[in-house]
Structure 1
Amino acid sequence: MKIDSEGYVTEILSGAPDGVLAFPTDIRCKGIRSDVFERSDSFLKSETEEVYIPANIVHMDDGLFDCLENVDFIQVANGNPAYYSEFGILYHADGSLACMPQARICK
């Protein structure tokens, strides 16, 4: 993954092995840019079934994962101060919904 000087993932250089997209645990990385999937591998949108967000990722734009049509589970690492997940659904730390995986919406 490419990370800019501000600590944001700007591009994903390879697909999601076994359908799992895991973001970097590097403490210099703090967020994900909203256009990351437009700049990344075109197969990523259809290959990804699960997303893993480590504790260091504390900023993601609303709607970031909406283009990932086959994602049915999002997991957030324990200790993330900005997000958490329950049963594969992503929430902001205040309890408001951050993202309902697209594969669950279409079912």
Structure 2
Amino acid sequence: MNGYLLLALAIVAEVIATSSLKAAENFTRLVPSVLVVTGYVAAFWLLMQVMKTVPVGVAYAIWCGAGIVLVTLIASVLYRQVPDLAAWLGIGLIIAGVAVIQLFSKMSH
């Protein structure tokens, strides 16, 4: 399977797990706790598969950048933790950094 497709699946699994942490309430709520554990196990297994074909630095940059952006968006909806202007600027810089690595770095080829 394509490494970048696996990376997308790994990111989705990680975002589900991270977004469920608050709802798990220190692992006292079953369903969110199961989402946390299974999400992280799936995410790291998928990330290991990704690194067979995608350079580690590139995979990790995309993983982190996409995870930060997606978790922030989900937290703003689920937990009403709405980012302010400075947070959006920071998120924009993260996206720009990942784009620079992917588009211009020789390590991504």
| Alignment TM-score, normalising by the size of structure 2 | 0.30
Higher relative contact order (CA 8 A, sep 6+): 2
Q: Over alpha carbons, which structure has the higher Rg?
A: 2
Which structure features the higher share of helix residues?
2
Which structure features the higher share of strand residues?
1
